[in-house]
Every structure is written in C-alpha cells, then in structure tokens.
C-alpha cells in the first residue's frame, strides 16, 4: 500500500486563491452585461461583490502561504477589469452616454489611472508588509463609483442631495479618483482584528461597525464610506505633509527597467517573494 502523499491536496490549496480571483472577474463582467441592459442597481452591487472577493483572495493566499507569481499577475489583470473598466462602464451608461460625444473621456482617464495604479503597486508594495497604501487602492475607487447609484435611491439622497448638480458632481468625482489613484497620498490598510491589543480591539470594532451598518443600511452606507475614505487620505496628506515621498519608502523607479526574479521556479508553485519584483498576491492594489 502506497503511503499517503499530500501533494495533491497542496495543489488544490494553491488553486483556491485564484478561484476567488476568477469569481472576482466573473462579477466584473456580469456587472458590465447588466449595465448594458440598464439594470444599474444589480450591476453596482456585483462590482461591490467583486471587491469582497478581491479582499478574500489575498487573505486566503497569505493564510495558506500559497501565493504565486501567476496569482499575483492574474489578480492585477482582473482588478483592471473589475475596478477599472466595469465601474467606468457603469458610470458611462448611467451618466455620460447621453451627455455629449466627449464625455467618455472621463471614463478613459479613470481606467488609465487604475491600470497605472496596479502596475505601480506590483513593483513598489506587493508582497511587503504594509501599514498604508501609496495612492488610493483601485478596489476602493471602483466600489465608491459602483455604490453611487444605490445611494441615489435612498431617502437620504432624495432629501439632502437631490438639489445638487449630479452630472457635474460625477465628473468631479471621476477626476478626483483618477488623481488619487496615481498620487503619493497614503491610505490606511484594513485594520487587523484582535483581542489582545488596543489596536486589535479598535480594528475589530471598525470591522464590526462596517459589517453591521453595511448589512442594515447598505444602500445609504457604502458610498458615504467611500467618500470618507477618500477625504481621509487628502486631509491626512494636507495636515501631515505626506504628499511627497519620504526617504524610507524605497520605491522603485517606475519609468526604468523592471527585473522580476524567478530563480528558476515553476510559476505554478508557491514561492518566497524577492525584495524587489513580483510578489504573491498584492491585494487591494
């Protein structure tokens, strides 16, 4: 009788994070299909679901120590679709399609910024322990755009914001998101929950707050939360002077050649990330 070998199980575990990523892509594509049919409410929440899966694939890869170069590259390519193209297409169909021939340019610049943001993230922050993101993460930008339409269906919007020039506000929002994604403004990562430290307790309280209000008042909650996250980065940068790079960032020159260390490894197998280069599962790029 042959001894049991865990190689097959290990390969299954390696594949699991990529399955989350591919379902992320599925929701992004489905959102665009629904937006083309005028089903904007469902299309909005499918982009949000894609964002949840994007957060989960990185966590699963890190917990199971199954990050691969293949997974890291796949994650970035999928994020361009789910948080770049899909939200831009949704907003174009919702706001810009009937507003003039040149209105699509706002969507183009947004998608361009999302692609640049993810490329920069891959060579500067992916695979490192992060206490902050440099530039607004593309999932946060995409989910903010996606939850705009559900917010417009709420009583809060109808009573307090209906008189505002909606079309021009959407133009301004697209411009701000475009600039923030490629900026050097620092944004906090998701807090880590725990029971042993004060920071862990605060992180747990924050996550519970988001879960409770997100479930009970999801239409009215997530878009203001996205705007607050945007404003947090801007205010922090303005007050603390973090708009310029600090000396300890050690960022790569994104205009220069990029060398990806492979060390002869099979791209389908787990690997340890090099100091500079591609890394397993960027997450929140």
Tell me the pLDDT of the chain averaged across its residues.
80
Residue 278 lies in a domain: no
Residue 282 lies in a domain: no
Residue 187 lies in a domain: yes
Q: What is the pLDDT of residue 94?
A: 93
Residue 26 or residue 279, greater confidence? 26
**Interhelix angle 7-36/69-80, nearest 10 degrees:** 10
Q: Is the pLDDT of residue 67 over 70?
A: no
CATH number for position 217? 1.20.120
Q: What is the pLDDT of residue 204?
A: 87
Residue 23 or residue 125, greater confidence? 23
The winner for highest mean pLDDT among 99-103, 156-160, 257-261, 280-284 is: 156-160
Q: Is the pLDDT of residue 276 over 50?
A: no
Residue 274 lies in a domain: no
Q: What is the pLDDT of residue 268?
A: 43
Residue 201 lies in a domain: yes
Taking only the tens place, the pLDDT of each residue in 236-250 is 888 876 445 444 444
Residue 79 belongs to domain spanning: 7-240
Q: What is the pLDDT of residue 133?
A: 87
- CA distance linking residue 228 with residue 171, whole number of Å: 18
- CA distance linking residue 131 with residue 12, whole number of Å: 31
Token pair listed for 74: 């796949």
Q: What is the pLDDT of residue 63?
A: 64
Q: What is the pLDDT of residue 261?
A: 46
Residue 213 lies in a domain: yes
Residues 34-49, mean pLDDT to the nearest whole number: 96
Residues 27-50, mean pLDDT to the nearest whole number: 96
Q: Which residues contact 16 (CB under 8 A, 6 or more apart)?
A: 60, 64, 66
Instruction: Tell which residue, 205, 4, 48, has the closest CA to residue 142.
Output: 48
Token pair listed for 284: 């929140």
Residues 190, 284 contacting (CB under 8 angstroms): yes
pLDDT confidence band for 224 (50 / 70 / 90): very high
- CA distance linking residue 50 with residue 29, whole number of Å: 10
Indicate the number of domains in the chain: 1
Residue 171 lies in a domain: yes
CA distances for 157 relative to 52, 92, 152, angstroms: 25, 21, 6
Taking only the tens place, the pLDDT of each residue in 177-195 is 999 999 989 998 877 777 7
Q: Is the pLDDT of residue 136 over 60?
A: yes
Burial of residue 101 (CB within 10 Å: 0-12, 13-18, 19+) is: exposed
Taking only the tens place, the pLDDT of each residue in 92-108 is 999 998 887 888 999 99
């Amino acid at each position: 009788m042959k001894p049991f070998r865990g190689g097959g199980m290990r390969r299954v575990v390696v594949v699991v994070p990529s399955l989350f990523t591919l379902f992320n892509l599925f929701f992004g594509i489905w959102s665009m299909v629904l937006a083309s049919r005028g089903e904007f409410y469902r299309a909005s929440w499918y982009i949000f679901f894609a964002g949840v899966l994007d957060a989960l694939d990185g966590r699963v890869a890190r917990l199971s120590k199954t990050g691969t170069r293949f997974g890291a590259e796949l994650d970035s390519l999928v994020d361009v679709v789910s948080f770049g193209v899909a939200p831009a297409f949704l907003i174009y169909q919702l706001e810009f399609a009937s507003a003039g021939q040149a209105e699509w340019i706002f969507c183009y610049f947004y998608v361009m910024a999302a692609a640049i943001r993810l490329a920069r993230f891959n060579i500067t922050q992916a695979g490192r322990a992060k206490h902050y993101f440099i530039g607004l993460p593309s999932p946060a930008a995409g989910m903010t755009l996606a939850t705009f339409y559900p917010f417009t269906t709420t009583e809060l919007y109808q009573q307090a914001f209906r008189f505002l020039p909606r079309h021009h506000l959407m133009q301004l929002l697209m411009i701000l998101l475009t600039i923030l994604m490629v900026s050097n403004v620092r944004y906090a990562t998701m807090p880590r929950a725990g029971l042993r430290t004060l920071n862990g307790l605060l992180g747990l309280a924050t996550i519970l707050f988001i879960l409770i209000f997100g479930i009970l008042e999801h239409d009215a909650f997530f878009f203001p939360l996205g705007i607050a996250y945007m404003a947090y980065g801007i205010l922090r940068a303005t007050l603390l002077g973090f708009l310029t790079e600090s000396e300890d960032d050690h960022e790569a020159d994104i205009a220069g050649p990029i060398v990806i260390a492979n060390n002869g490894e099979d791209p389908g197998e787990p690997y340890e990330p090099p100091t500079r280069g591609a890394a397993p599962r960027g997450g929140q790029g």
